[in-house]
A = this chain, B = another copy of it.
Amino acid sequence: FVNGKFCKNPKLAKADDFFFPGPKMLGLNISRSTSNRVGSTVTPVNVEQIPGLNTLGISLARIDFGPNGLNPPHTHPRATEILVVLEGTLHVGFVTSNLNPGNRLFTKVLRKGDVFVFPVGLIHFQFNVGKTNAVAIAALSSQNPGVITIADSVFGSTPPISVDVLTKAFQVDEKVIELLQKQF
């Protein structure tokens, strides 16, 4: 195990260790279904899919958005993300850390071909504000970047975070927290 993955003897490596077949999973001609509660689907291509990426420090993902589709606020604990829009119009943003003046939201509306950077570990999102589907390619500076979706992590963990913690953290009463937890 290195980074939780077996490493191969380099003498046994072959071209397929560095290859990921598109048509089945990343093919641009085959849109991914976005019929889920947020209206978006992420298709990762990292060390899980391409063993040859181990220790090389990079990976990709394709993101499909239906109309009003959202890649909800999330972080990558081990990677910066750079994203290019292939189709559609995205409202994107990230929030800076608490450094004074902190919690600043940086946003931009991206159109076909625009590129935007989300620095390592910061909370960010992408939202389809056009009338059609949207598609983006994201590159991440780790072969195993990790994803922490804020809503799922805070309100949908197994087991759940205690209601006492969440009412104090979000400064709302128990009913609001339970409503939020019910969604995840």
Contact = CB atoms under 8 A, between A and B. Distances in A.
Interface of A: 1-4, 6-11, 13-15, 18-23, 25-30, 37-39, 45, 50, 52-53, 55-60, 62, 68, 70, 72-73, 75-82, 84-86, 91, 93-99, 101-108, 110-123, 125, 127, 137, 139-141, 146-162, 164-165, 168-172, 176, 179-180, 183-184
B164 A146 contact: no
Q: What's the number of copies of this chain in the assembled complex? A: 6
A19 B22 CA distance: 28
A38 to B, nearest CB: 6
Given A70-B168, A73-B165, 19 more contacts: A1-B7, A4-B7, A22-B85, A38-B168, A45-B84, A56-B120, A59-B82, A70-B169, A75-B148, A91-B162, A91-B165, A97-B146, A98-B146, A98-B152, A103-B152, A123-B153, A127-B165, A150-B169, A172-B183
Contacts of A56: 80, 117, 119-120, 141
